[in-house]
């Protein structure tokens, strides 16, 4: 019996991790579809950002209540991993609470046994806090009318995805208490007292269950144990399909975040080269590019995910669709079509689609679709005021504005798709050195009038 | 007071270089309302005998609206020409009353060959106040008056200048009140990203109406700004929302009024 359970455990564990590894490779390959960009300078500053923003959740606390609720689930998730160590050991060896017995019986260490009891108790307390947070989150998503959870881009899968994970959280916590509580109760039934001093299972759940028969308690404990590990492995398999990928990608995403001032929009070196050539009377426009010179870019700006930087694509996979960006967006607040969250979701969906095409039809397949227009409309792009509120609010430093600007560039410089008023503004800047139709000769008129 | 507004060319002809270049900007040069802000800043500069100059006819648009609209060509054409002129005059320090000029000169000109120390006039004024050069004698016009400050995106979030403009208002002894969203959470006025130069997209409200609502809700009599585009947007918005009740001024205008210059 034990050998069958060990084999079953090994198969599902290895299977789940292998599946995740294959999907993770696909995600990595999809991110590599983007343009190269070196984001490895100043490692110290990057590490600090990662520790403060991803590990330390610093930017989450711009909204206090959701930050505290999220923190409960986050810390519970992190700390519960400790319990998994024993579950894996037990699963592969066919033992029961091997660490506990090792600490108490073999090593006879009061300290380690105490530490074990403390850790499980701590996990139990965090599990209750996480459970409370989960109920609060379910209410926030489904009962309370919180605007950022009611936007149309969440209809369908994204909303279901969020609820699935919350329900899975309830399931996992239930399993933990079935496992620990069942264990305590059957010890009480069998020997009169439990050797486990777990805070909640030992004092509440276990005693409450101890009226049941030993057979039933054995089943409860096993359902809890297997249910928990199957839940955890199921979560790993589910992760690549879900916004919950942020639990991993938040770390690289904050590490590789751009370190420039928020207001800076990068210059395009390819254009600098063109203009310098235009301004240089000795330049030969027909000359072959010098050896080692970069080839001219295929296009100016971005029309599809391959034109974006790999960091934009990592941003898209890291997004957990919380909608703080959209909530802060002045365009969205005043009823415009633009939603920065949708920009990120569209980028990810298009990237998934391109990835799927590569997998089924090979790397050269063209599906005659692109991010610009097929996913993100001109009207959305036009509504952006570049105010950076979306960038400011993102808890893990995602930059929707960077994508918006790159798509705008392609609209203007590739498609000459520009509102008439903007065309006028462009030609005024070129011809009159001001966005309005005033003569440059009148630029100091105010000064003459002031000093007269 | 006799006001002087020398140009870089005039000073160069006399073999002099000014301490700072006052970058006036397009709005500050041509927009009737923004010109009043330009004038106010010139009054302060003259009052303190600061050795400054403007580029005058040699100044040109920084290219900011073109860049934010997506026209990198027009932006870089403008930028590279401006950089040639700025470098020819060996400009080191620039002060400007426009956050858009401030941001782009500070952050986006540097890797095109134009590295300057660039400050917004709020920072410059704060510096003068801190050094004790600029004093507002107590009990001025604004003592106890409710003033709210609107953070410009390109001053605030973009470059994290939140305190300097507030320090100027505090020097006026005003009762500074904050809007529902302020500082890093401050709502945009609706002009950025070249929106100033086109109609807004379809929606249920204009952005400036929303921001004006927040400003009026504070009960302040004066909305202080530090940007010519925010000035236009909020003047329109507050006039619509609370006609005749709220006035919009740039911080330097308030300073000039406070000092009675």
Mutate to test the interface with A, among B10, B45, B194, B261 (most CBs of A within 10 A): B194
Looking at the complex, report in whole angstroms how far the Cα of residue A405 sits from the nearest Cα belonging to chain B: 6
Domain match, A50 and A114 both:
no
CATH number at residue B63: 3.40.50
Tens of each residue's pLDDT in chain A, 452 residues: 688 999 999 999 999 999 999 999 999 999 999 999 999 999 999 999 999 999 999 999 999 999 999 999 999 999 988 989 999 999 999 899 999 999 999 999 999 999 999 999 999 999 999 999 999 999 999 999 999 999 999 999 999 999 999 999 999 999 999 999 999 999 999 998 888 989 999 999 999 999 999 999 999 999 999 999 999 999 999 999 999 999 999 999 999 999 999 999 999 999 998 888 888 888 776 766 665 555 566 789 999 999 999 999 999 999 999 999 999 999 999 999 999 999 999 999 999 999 999 999 998 899 999 999 999 999 999 999 999 999 999 999 999 999 999 999 999 999 999 999 999 999 999 999 999 999 999 999 999 999 88
In a domain, A232, yes or no: yes
A324 and A411 belong to one structural domain: yes
| B194: DSSP letter | T
B145 and B63 housed in the same domain = no
* Out of B57, B61, B63, closest to residue A441 by CB: B57
What are the chain B neighbours of A328 within 8 Å (beta carbons)? 185
Q: Which residue in the set A328, A386, A447 is minimally distant from B54, CB to CB?
A: A447
Same domain for B248 and B157:
yes
Last residue of a domain, one of A199, A228, A255: A255
What is the C-alpha R_g of chain B?
18
Nearest to B201 among A272, A379, A447 (CB): A379
Residues of B in contact with A333 (CB under 8 A): 187, 207, 210
Find the length of chain A.
452
**Contacts B199 to A, Cβ<8 Å:** 419, 421
Q: Which of A220, A240, A255 is the last residue of a domain?
A: A255
How many angstroms away from the CA of B144 is the closest CA of chain A? 31
Residues B66 and B157 in one domain: no
Q: Which residues pair with B177 in a beta bridge?
A: B148
Paired strand residues for B7: B54
CB contact under 8 A, A389 and B185: yes
Residues of B in contact with A300 (CB under 8 A): 72-73
pLDDT given for residue B217 in this prediction: 97
A385 vs B78, B159, B188: nearest CB = B188
Asked if B188 lies within 8 A of A441 by C-beta distance, the reply is no
**B33 found inside a domain:** yes
Residue A395: its chain B contacts at CB < 8 A?
Answer: none
CB contact under 8 A, B193 and A330: no
A412–B71 C-beta distance less than 8 A: yes
Confidence (pLDDT) at B159: 97
Taking contacts as CB-CB distances below 8 angstroms, the residues of chain A near B111 are 267
* 8 Å CB contact of B197 and A421: yes
**Across the interface, do A385 and B157 touch by the CB < 8 Å criterion?**
no
Q: Which residues of A touch B193 (CB under 8 A)?
A: 384-387
Nearest residue on chain B to A383, alpha-carbon basis: B201
Q: Which of B112, B193, B198, B213 to mutate to test the interface with A (most CBs of A within 10 A)?
A: B193
pLDDT in tens, B61-86: 999 999 999 999 999 999 999 999 99
Domain assignment present for B3: no
Distance from CA of B170 to the nearest CA of A (A): 26
Using a CB cutoff of 8 Å and minimum separation of 24, what contacts does A209-218 make?
A209/A181, A209/A182, A209/A184, A209/A185, A210/A184, A210/A185, A212/A185, A213/A189, A214/A186, A214/A189, A214/A190, A217/A182, A217/A185, A217/A186, A217/A189, A218/A182, A218/A186
**What's the CA gap between A390 and B185, in Å, rounded?**
10
DSSP state of A288: P
Alpha-carbon Rg for chain A in angstroms: 29
Residue given tokens 């002009």 in the structure block? B191
In a domain, B239, yes or no: yes
Q: Is residue B2 in some structural domain?
A: no
Nearest CB among B193, B197, B199 relative to A384 is that of: B193
What is the number of domains present in chain B? Answer: 2
Q: Which chain A residue lies closest to B183 (C-alpha atoms)?
A: A389
Domain count across chain A: 2
The dihedral built from the CA positions of residue A19, A24, A29 and A31, taken in this order, carries a sign that is positive
**Domain boundary at B126, B151, B178, which?**
B126
| Structure confidence at residue B260 (pLDDT) | 85
Chain A residues whose CB is inside 8 A of the B198 CB are 382, 419, 421-422, 425
**Residue A228 belongs to a domain:** yes
Q: Let me know whether B157 and B108 are in one domain.
A: no
**Is B66 in Cβ contact with A426 (below 8 Å)?**
yes
pLDDT of residue A279: 80
- In the sheet with B247-250, reading across from the earlier edge strand, the strands are B175-177, B146-149, B222-225, B247-250
Instruction: Tell whether A116 and A226 lie within a shared domain.
Output: yes
Domain limit, last residue, from A201, A223, A255: A255
> Could you tell me if A105 and A232 lie in one domain?
yes
What confidence score (pLDDT) does residue B139 get? 57
- pLDDT tens sequence across A344-403: 999 999 999 999 999 999 988 999 999 999 999 999 999 999 999 999 999 999 999 999
CB contact under 8 A, B193 and A261: no
Residue spans of chain B under pLDDT 50: none
Reported ipTM: the value is 0.96
Residue A83 in domain? yes
| B70 contacts on A by Cβ (under 8 Å) | 301, 405, 407-413, 418
**Encoding tokens for residue B132?**
């004790």
Structural domain including B110 reads: 8-126
Smallest CA–CA distance from B195 into chain A, residue: A385
Q: Can you give the pLDDT at residue A293?
A: 56
Same-domain check for residues B144 and B91: no
Q: Residue A139: exposed, middle, or buried by beta-carbon count in 10 A (0-12, 13-18, 19+)?
A: exposed
Do B151 and B249 lie in one domain? The reply is yes
Distances (CA, A) of B243 to A208, B128, B206, B235, B248: 69, 35, 17, 10, 12
- Has residue B1 been placed in a domain? no
Q: Where do runs of H (alpha helix) occur along A289-339?
A: 310-318, 324-328, 330-333
Last residue of a domain, one of B126, B158, B193: B126
Q: Which residue has the tokens 């899968």?
A: A157
Q: What is the CATH number of the domain that holds A122?
A: 1.20.950
Residue A41: which domain range? 32-62+299-441
Determine the Cα angle at A340 with ends A325 and B226, to 5°.
Answer: 65
B194–A422 C-beta distance less than 8 A: yes
Instruction: Determine the distance in angstroms separating the CA of A146 from the nearest CA of chain B, rounded to an integer.
Output: 18
Per CB-CB distance under 8 Å, the chain A contacts of B88 are: none
Q: How far apart are CA B36 and CA B50, in angstroms?
A: 19
Nearest to A419 among B65, B103, B198 (CB): B198
CB within 8 Å: A261 and B158 = yes
Boundary-marking domain end, from B126, B156, B174: B126
Number of CB pairs, chain A paired with chain B, less than 8 A apart? 224
Contact A385 B153 (CB under 8 A): yes
| Alpha carbon distance A28, A393 (integer Å) | 26
| A217 Cβ contact list (under 8 Å, min separation 6) | A182, A185, A186, A189, A209
**Do B167 and B238 fall within a single domain?**
yes
């Amino acid at each position: 019996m034990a050998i069958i359970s060990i084999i079953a455990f090994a198969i599902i564990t290895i299977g789940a991790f292998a599946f995740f590894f294959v999907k993770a490779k696909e995600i990595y390959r999809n991110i590599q579809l983007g343009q190269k960009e070196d984001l490895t300078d100043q490692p110290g500053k990057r590490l600090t950002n990662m520790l403060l923003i991803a590990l330390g959740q610093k930017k989450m606390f711009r909204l206090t209540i959701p930050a505290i609720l999220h923190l409960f689930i986050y810390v519970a998730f992190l700390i519960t991993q400790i319990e998994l160590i024993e579950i894996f050991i037990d699963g592969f060896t066919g033992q029961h609470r091997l660490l506990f017995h090792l600490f108490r019986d073999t090593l006879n260490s009061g300290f380690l046994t105490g530490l074990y009891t403390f850790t499980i108790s701590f996990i139990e307390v965090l599990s209750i806090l996480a459970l409370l947070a989960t109920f609060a989150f379910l209410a926030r998503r489904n009962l309370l009318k919180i605007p950022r959870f009611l936007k149309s881009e969440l209809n369908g899968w994204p909303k279901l995805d969020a609820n699935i994970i919350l329900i899975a959280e309830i399931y996992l916590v239930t399993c933990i208490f079935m496992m620990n509580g069942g264990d305590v109760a059957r010890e009480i039934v069998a020997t009169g007292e439990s050797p486990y001093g777990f805070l909640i299972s030992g004092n509440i759940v276990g005693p409450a269950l101890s009226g049941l028969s030993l057979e039933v308690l054995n089943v409860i404990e096993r359902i809890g144990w297997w249910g928990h590990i199957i839940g955890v492995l199921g979560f790993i398999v589910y992760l690549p399909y879900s916004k919950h990928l942020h639990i991993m990608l938040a770390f690289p995403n904050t590490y590789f975040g751009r370190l420039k001032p928020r207001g800076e929009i990068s210059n395009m070196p390819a254009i600098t080269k063109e203009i310098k050539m235009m301004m240089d009377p000795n330049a030969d426009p027909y000359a072959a590019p010098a050896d080692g010179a970069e080839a001219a870019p295929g296009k100016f700006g971005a029309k599809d995910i391959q034109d974006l930087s790999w960091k934009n694509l990592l941003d898209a996979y890291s997004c957990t669709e919380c909608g703080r960006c959209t909530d802060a967006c002045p365009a969205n607040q005043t009823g415009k079509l633009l939603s920065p969250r949708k920009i990120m979701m569209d980028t990810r969906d298009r990237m998934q689609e391109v990835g799927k095409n590569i997998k089924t039809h090979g790397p050269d397949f063209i599906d005659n679709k692109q991010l610009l227009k097929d996913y993100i409309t001109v009207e959305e792009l036009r509504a952006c005021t570049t105010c950076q509120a979306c960038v400011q609010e993102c808890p893990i430093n995602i930059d929707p504005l960077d994508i918006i600007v790159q798509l705008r560039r392609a609209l203007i410089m590739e498609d000459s798709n520009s509102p008439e008023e903007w065309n006028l503004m462009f030609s005024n800047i070129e011809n009159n050195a001001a966005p309005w139709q005033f003569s440059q000769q009148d630029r100091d008129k105010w000064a003459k009038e002031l000093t007269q | 007071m006799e006001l002087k507004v020398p140009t870089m060319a005039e000073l160069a002809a006399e073999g002099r270089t000014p301490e700072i270049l006052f970058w006036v900007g397009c709005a500050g040069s041509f927009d009737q309302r923004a010109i009043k802000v330009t004038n106010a800043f010139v009054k302060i500069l003259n009052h303190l005998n600061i050795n400054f100059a403007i580029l005058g006819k040699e100044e040109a648009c920084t290219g900011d609206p073109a860049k934010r609209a997506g026209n990198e060509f027009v932006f870089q054409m403008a930028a590279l020409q401006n950089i040639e002129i700025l470098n020819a005059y060996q400009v080191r320090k620039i002060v400007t009353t426009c956050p858009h000029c401030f941001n782009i000169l500070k952050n986006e000109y540097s890797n095109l060959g134009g590295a300057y120390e660039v400050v917004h006039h709020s920072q410059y004024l704060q510096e003068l106040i801190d050094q004790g050069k600029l004093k507002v004698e107590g009990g001025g016009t604004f003592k106890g008056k409710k003033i709210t400050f609107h953070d410009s995106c390109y001053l605030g979030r973009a470059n994290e200048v939140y305190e300097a403009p507030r320090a100027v208002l505090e020097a006026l002894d005003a009762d500074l009140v904050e809007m529902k969203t302020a500082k890093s959470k401050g709502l945009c006025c609706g002009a950025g990203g070249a929106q100033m130069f086109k109609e807004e997209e379809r929606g249920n409200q204009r952005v400036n109406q929303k921001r004006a609502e927040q400003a009026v809700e504070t009960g302040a009599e004066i909305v202080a700004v530090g940007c010519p585009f925010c000035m236009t947007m909020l003047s329109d918005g507050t006039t619509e929302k609370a006609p005749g009740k709220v006035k919009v001024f740039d911080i330097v205008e308030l300073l000039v009024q406070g000092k009675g210059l």
